[in-house]
């Protein structure tokens, strides 16, 4: 399945408009290598709490190397999606495949003033669809126990999530195979019903 995708080819088929809980329409698209300045501006607008929940450390600035790593993805084994409101990035989600496996780690962060609009769910839904098409079958994630928003996103995804807790962190693991439950949850969310 993975073979039908070309490494480093921008997948414009993943571009779409999404409707959020307020009724506003935002743009979801794959990240591009020229998004560095937007990504730095996005990171600067995150609260210290949002940064800590994403990186598990104080991380006020992205280094030049980090910006390069985060914006230059191959669109198959490493994919990042962004959500834009006009020219501003307001959310970023990504997966990164574990080498030579069908598993990938998934992570995302939503700008504070755009939280609780369903953007995390949109990112998870679209990342799961793209990953599944590229031969990834399982997502994993590490979450701080106090990150209730992220726990809720995974819990309401319709995917069969299992988790373990250790040292203040929750490790989640779940199949992203489309099921009637996950597809119904996705469709309700995209229609704005949940």
Chain segment 28-60, per-residue pLDDT in tens:
999 999 999 999 999 999 999 888 888 778 777
For 138, the token pair is 């399982």
pLDDT (mean) for 104-125: 95
| Strand positions, DSSP E, 6-155 | 16-19, 25-30, 78-85, 88-97, 103-110, 138-144
146 or 164, higher pLDDT: 164
Q: How many CA atoms lie within 13 A of 157 on its CB side?
A: 30
User: Residue 61, class by beta-carbon neighbours within 10 Å (0-12 exposed, 13-18 middle, 19+ buried)?
Assistant: exposed
Please state, rounded to an integer, the average pLDDT across all residues of the chain. Answer: 92
116 has pLDDT over 90: yes
The pLDDT > 90 percentage for the chain reads: 73
Name, in order, each residue with C-beta under 8 angstroms of 29's C-beta and a sequence gap of 6 or more.
14, 15, 16, 81, 82, 84
User: What pLDDT is attached to residue 2?
Assistant: 58
Q: Which of 85, 112, 109 is nearest to 27 (CA)?
A: 85
């Amino acid at each position: 399945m993975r073979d039908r995708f070309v490494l480093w080819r921008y997948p414009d088929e993943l571009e779409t408009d999404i409707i959020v809980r307020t009724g506003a329409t935002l743009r979801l698209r794959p990240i591009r290598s020229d998004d560095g300045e937007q990504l730095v501006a996005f990171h600067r607008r995150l609260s210290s709490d949002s940064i800590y929940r994403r990186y598990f450390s104080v991380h006020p600035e992205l280094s030049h190397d980090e910006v390069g790593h985060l914006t230059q993805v191959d669109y198959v084994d490493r994919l990042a999606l962004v959500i834009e409101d006009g020219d501003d990035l307001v959310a970023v989600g990504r997966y990164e495949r574990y080498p030579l496996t069908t598993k990938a780690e998934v992570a995302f962060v939503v700008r504070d003033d755009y939280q609780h609009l369903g953007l995390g769910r949109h990112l998870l839904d679209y990342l799961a669809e793209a990953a599944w098409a590229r031969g990834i079958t399982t997502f994993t994630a590490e979450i701080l126990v106090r990150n209730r928003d992220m726990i809720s996103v995974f819990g309401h995804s319709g995917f069969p999530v299992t988790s373990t807790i250790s040292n203040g962190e929750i490790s989640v693991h779940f199949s992203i195979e489309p099921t009637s439950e996950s597809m119904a949850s996705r469709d309700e969310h995209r229609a704005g019903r949940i």
